Amino acid sequence: MNKFIILFFLFFCINFKINANPNLQARTAILVDFHSDEIMFELDPDSQIYPASMTKIMTAIIAFDLLKENKLSLDDKFTISENAWRLSQAGYSSMFIMINDQVSVENLLKGIIIASGNDACIALAEGIAGSEENFADMMNEKAGEIGMTSTNFTNSSGINDPDNISTVRDIAIMSKYLIKNYPIYYELFAEKTFTWDRTGGEPIKQGNRNPLLYKNIGVDGVKTGYLAVEKYSLASSMKKKDRRIIAVASGFESKKSRSLESLKLLNWGFRNTNTFEISKKGETTFELDTWLGKKNKIKATTKEDYYITINKKNINHLNVSLDYDGPISAPVDEGTKIANIIVSKKDEIIKKLPLYAAEDLKKVNFFKSLLTSLNYLIWGDV
């Protein structure tokens, strides 16, 4: 078994203190790297929560799915029912739509995402699925599809319902799905204000309820939540250069605590860990030696993007290598697994990632094959 070491330069001068724990003041929390899916910190992440307005992330995802499939348009308009209007009169977060208003999908989405309007959630749900109950079924189907195994949605807004439940782990999964699959629509979550030119009154301008958006530190989403029984919660995402991390926490005692503690968690993640790109699908290629092939090298690639997140104190111990029986004997068909990328920390293997032939490798003709074999027997020269 031959092992070929990839030159993976990871020299860092670490002149800061690395904290083992962010000492977060919350009931439950999780911190995940967007690219590697590595969990950098968790605090009882599978404890049941009432997701409150973080539910609206899934409400938006359902609409985005339909937009992508051309089953819905941003210009489509839905008629506002009394059921939706009543929520604007009940003291909840509202867009302040009126009965029989014709409101576009685009404005309803802004009312949901930016103003956190519960009335807009019902209007969108009824417009898409006929009823909020039918829409909740769509939400649960999507939750199962993307791996949210501990979530049950009963409404589109997250308002009081003992059966509308989730976990911070599932909310993180949902947040990543949103950001990864709908980067353009996700930009709505970073907008700080929304002005609704309502019927029968002056336009209403409302600010985004995510307090971290106003700090200009790289946070561009995702969604706040509050219920008296759950206290304050926040799903947040911060991007610095090419790296993004997602934090979800719940059970904060106050709005101030939610803001300060969430920011502390995000900053802890960037300060104490780094994420490295190991291989990018369709971009990163590796060349392996061949035997009896028409080429001396064959290109190999991964079928997925691979990243590794590691604590900065362990960076000097990170090693990336190629592991394969070589040289690779021709013929080889494109797509054949021919090697592994080995990512290790000291003597511990962290990841073993398959490499596949990125091209066909034809075998040389009989006479050249014979000559090459004789040359090897005599001189040991492949």
Catalytic residues: 53, 56, 116
Q: Which of 219, 227, 225 is nearest to 258 (CA)?
A: 225
Task: Judge whether 38 and 278 are in contact, CB under 8 Å.
Answer: no
Three-state secondary-structure class, residue 13:
coil
CA dist 369 and 382 (Å) reads 11
Computed on alpha carbons and rounded to an integer, the radius of gyration of the chain in Å comes to 26
Q: Which residues pair with 345 in a beta bridge?
A: 318, 348
Please tell me the distance from the alpha carbon of residue 126 to that of residue 147, in angstroms, as a whole number. Answer: 26
d(CA 382, CA 376): 6
CA trace torsion 34, 36, 39, 45 (10° rounding): 60
The answer to whether the CB of 168 falls within 8 A of the CB of 251 is no
348-357 β-sheet, strand order = 2-5, 318-324, 337-345, 348-357, 297-301, 286-291, 328-329
**Terminal Cα-to-Cα distance of the chain (whole angstroms):** 17
Evaluated on CA atoms 264, 265, 267, 273, the torsion sign reads positive
What sections of 69-197 are H helices per DSSP?
Answer: 82-87, 105-113, 118-129, 132-145, 168-181, 183-186
96, 195 contact by CB (below 8 A): no
Residue 344's SS3 state is strand
